[in-house]
Amino acid sequence: MLRTAAINVAGSEEPGAPFATLSLDVHGGDHGPRLTIPAAIAALARDPGIKIILAGQQSAIESILTNAMQAVGPRLVVHHAPDVLPADAKPTAVLRRGQTSSMWQALQLLADGKADACISGGSTAALMTLGVKLVGLLPGIQRPALMAHVPCTNGQTGLLDLGANINVSARQLVQFAVMGSVTAQVADGIDRPRVGLLNVGHEDSKGHELVRDAHQQLKLLPLNYVGFIEGSDIFSGKVDVAVCDGFAGNLILKSSEGLVRFLVAELNFALNSGFSTRLGGMLVKPALRQLMAQLDPSAHNGAPLLGLKSVVVKSHGGAGCESMTQAILEAGREARRRVPEKIEASMRAYQLETEA
């Protein structure tokens, strides 16, 4: 599907970068077509190098698209999927009865080569289950991992896994580190990403046996591995990629999102509590606007499910229009930069393509 590409090692796109076709699960997420379709139209306006296939109920899609089709033209097409997965759908039920759902159909388009990447804001468990079944895992990858970006003092830090895998092995943590490093290099343009393994301390003796085992394995790889990191290091800019199991990663992500909301609310209250504070607020408004832009979750939405043979991006279920647009744009970037192919090449180069 992708036309010829010219991508350098760091992942930045050169003239002649390929055109990517994306499949979008229109009904995935809390708001459904009334949000995903405007987000798709916004993404098309911002990235002329993508085409989007809307997988969902045709009548619901067309009722929203009535006034937009002429504006977007042939870069937006509809693929009818009559059913919608409930947000709490169990993976076993999805496998038995989900073939006609919008998520299944969006992933099937990817598996059939009719799309180069897929985006969904639906159930993480269902997306991972169907992604493995329909798209398949890269050689040697035991489990896929969700990776997202969190703000730090000098930009952003990639964090994985975010909840796709609660229980992991040392081998799987090593694979997460390789996948995260490749993604940071190719998709984010970081020359030698610094990779750290989350632990309760920096010393080699700290932590349980699983992380100590992964730590020793990572030392033997030609990654820019900086060793153990603590939770505070994720936000200090010490590393570009922070690796942990899905239990810890999900807690970190949700806690940081809650902390941002708390700080914004408290700051707004403090700056509007009296005349003098309102006056001071006007003086610091430019700096606050810059800070809020950095902390805004919508700027970091779009978690790739790394380890699959093609690009699959998970959007936050409660994402707003701008957040969903960011997830769609992220999928386009990763498809054009061929992130899965680069991960597979690294696994082979590091001799990790076979199971231990």
State whether 8 and 125 are in the same domain: yes
State whether 99 and 173 are in the same domain: no
Q: Is residue 340 part of a domain?
A: no
* pLDDT tens sequence across 290-328: 655 555 555 568 899 999 999 999 998 888 899 999 999
State whether 36 and 8 are in the same domain: yes
Q: Is residue 270 part of a domain?
A: yes
Q: Is residue 331 part of a domain?
A: no
Query: What is the value of pTM for the model shown?
Result: 0.85
Best CA proximity match to 340, nearest among 209, 144, 154: 144
State whether 61 and 196 are in the same domain: no
- Strand, helix or coil for residue 148: strand
Angstrom distance (rounded) from CA 17 to CA 340: 17
Q: Measured in Å, how far apart are the chain's first and last C-alpha atoms?
A: 34
The torsion of the CA quartet 311, 316, 318, 322, rounded to 10 degrees, works out to: -70
For 283, the domain range is: 142-301
Which of 285, 301, 317 is the C-terminal boundary of a domain?
301
Domain tally, the chain: 2
State whether 319 and 249 are in the same domain: no
State whether 233 and 270 are in the same domain: yes
- Strand, helix or coil for residue 245: coil
State whether 295 and 148 are in the same domain: yes
For residue 114, is pLDDT > 50? yes
Residue 42, burial from CB neighbour count under 10 angstroms (0-12, 13-18, 19+): middle
State whether 129 and 76 are in the same domain: yes
Q: What CATH number is given to the structural domain containing 26? A: 3.40.718.10
State whether 296 and 171 are in the same domain: yes
Residue % of the chain over a pLDDT of 90: 61
Strand partners, 137: 308
Best CA proximity match to 73, nearest among 44, 99, 95, 94: 44
Average pLDDT, the chain: 86
Q: Which residues contact 320 (CB under 8 A, 6 or more apart)?
A: 35, 298
